[in-house]
């Protein structure tokens, strides 16, 4: 292969990788990908979760489709979008890890989530495993029910954050309650712990979510 041919090949291959870079260059598209990593969703659900119009979400999805990062199926009048590859979830987790490692602003924003809140330290996945085995906790998944149905940590009970207050009476008071949501950058578990502790429960937060659990327990996916 001549130098000219080598240069053309390199330009071509990096142009293909740049399609993914372009898809990741928007905060809103990153949020859409994060949401889809929790399970398939309609355009309308994505619009509600991201607080964008359906038209704007559709435009972002078109770019993600062009990069082949998402795909969809038609169900009647609805289009259900999903990630086209499980590797995208790994990429999103690596992106978070990289941001925490090299961007001080990420860690500052993360600390703001629980600043001025008297919460105990969140549990790690390893601590959660130990306590699940001992049976001394109740684990609740406070994400939307459809995300729980798609995938959840074994042993977890689905109590969406929107239903938690009216379902407090169903939770045992002789066990610690551990809540989890979509991961470190989701506020549902924080809101759940705040409510539970105000109501007298011993409650703890799992900082990670299903994606991180599945990285350590791929057979549960």
181 catalytically annotated:
yes
Residue 205 β-bridge partners: 179
> Which of 71, 151, 181, 186 is flagged as catalytic?
181
CA distance 100 to 52: 27
Place of tokens 């969140």: 122
User: What does the angle CA 75 – CA 77 – CA 82 come to, to the nearest 5 degrees?
Assistant: 45
How far apart CA 72 and CA 61 sit, in angstroms, is 10
Q: Which stretches within the chain are classed as H helix?
A: 3-23, 27-36, 43-50, 54-66, 87-102, 104-112, 125-134, 145-150, 188-198, 210-216
Length of the chain: 221
Please state the separation of Cα 117 from the chain's center in Å.
23
State CA 171 to chain mean position distance.
25
The secondary structure element, H or E, covering residue 79 is strand 78-83
Q: Which tokens sit at 101? A: 């490692």
* Torsion angle in degrees (nearest 10) through CA of 163, 169, 174, 180: 0
Residues tagged active-site: 181
């Amino acid at each position: 292969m001549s130098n000219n041919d080598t240069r053309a090949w390199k330009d071509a291959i990096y142009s293909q990788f740049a399609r993914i870079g372009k898809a990741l260059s928007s905060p809103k598209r990153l949020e859409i990908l994060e949401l889809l990593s929790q399970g398939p969703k309609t355009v309308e659900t994505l619009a509600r979760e991201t607080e964008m119009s359906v038209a704007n979400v559709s435009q972002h999805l078109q770019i993600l489709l062009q990069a082949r990062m998402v795909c969809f199926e038609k169900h009647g009048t609805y289009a259900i979008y999903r990630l086209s590859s499980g590797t995208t979830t790994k990429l999103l987790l690596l992106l978070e890890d990289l941001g925490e490692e090299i961007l001080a602003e990420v860690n500052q924003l993360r600390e703001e989530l629980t600043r001025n809140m008297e919460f105990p330290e969140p549990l790690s996945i390893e601590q959660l495993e130990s306590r699940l085995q001992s049976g001394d906790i109740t684990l609740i998944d406070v994400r939307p029910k459809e995300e729980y149905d798609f995938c959840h940590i074994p042993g977890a009970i689905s109590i969406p954050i929107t239903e938690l207050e009216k379902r407090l009476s169903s939770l045992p008071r002789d066990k610690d309650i551990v809540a989890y949501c979509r991961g470190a950058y989701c506020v549902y578990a924080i809101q759940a712990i705040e409510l539970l502790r105000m109501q007298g429960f011993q409650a703890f937060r799992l900082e990670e979510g299903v994606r991180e659990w599945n990285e350590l327990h791929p057979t549960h996916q």
